[in-house]
A = this chain, B = another copy of it.
Amino acid sequence: MERTIVDYQEGSVQEKLQKILGDVEEDGGTCPIRNILVRFSDKWSTLSIFHLGDAGTLRFNELKKRVDGISQRMLTVTLRNLERDGIVTRRVYPEIPPRVEYQLTDLGRSLLVQIIELGDWASNHSNQIIEARSRFDAREGRVIDSVSLN
């Protein structure tokens, strides 16, 4: 079902797009597809999924060490949301000091495949993007970095 990294290159990309657009715009903002895309596109979720996919099982602080720059609060929030969505499992061992282990579910691993492809794309095209940014900034003479157009 989702293991085919190969055949989504040639399949019916067009049909998939039509289907997504139908789902995504049908109820303006509340649809699950939008919701899911937004959720899985945040920085900390992506990085956490990468690291759990790489390591298999990680304790809270092990994961925290790997996800460079994440605060304790954001790791907690991120993991709760991923757990809620069925992407990771959380196992608590009643020891002192407590041990809590996280790992990807099957669903999480199938998502991982998708975001690896996206990350791979980013990796392979980063030079093109950086060059495009330079050209644009040279043309415009100013930087429109992230958002505010003020």
Residues of chain A touching chain B, judged by Cβ–Cβ distance below 8 Å, are 1-11, 13, 16-21, 23-25, 28-29, 32-34, 36-38, 40-43, 46-47, 50-51, 53-57, 66, 68-69, 73, 76-77, 80-81, 83-86, 103-104, 107, 109-126, 128-133, 135-137, 144, 146-149
Contacts and interface: CB of A to CB of B under 8 A. Distances in A.
Given A68-B25, A129-B32, A11 B6 contact: yes
B118 A37 contact: yes
A109 B8 contact: yes
27 contacts: A1-B124, A4-B104, A4-B109, A5-B13, A5-B56, A5-B109, A9-B113, A17-B119, A18-B54, A19-B123, A24-B47, A29-B69, A33-B122, A33-B123, A37-B118, A38-B43, A41-B41, A41-B42, A73-B149, A84-B132, A84-B137, A85-B132, A86-B136, A107-B132, A114-B117, A114-B118, A115-B118
B54 A21 contact: yes
B122 A32 contact: yes
A17 B109 CA distance: 12
A125 B119 CA distance: 20
Identical chains bound together, number: 2
Instruction: Give the interface SS of chain A, mostly helix, strand, loop or mixed.
Output: helix
Contacts of A56: 1-5
Contacts of A148: 77
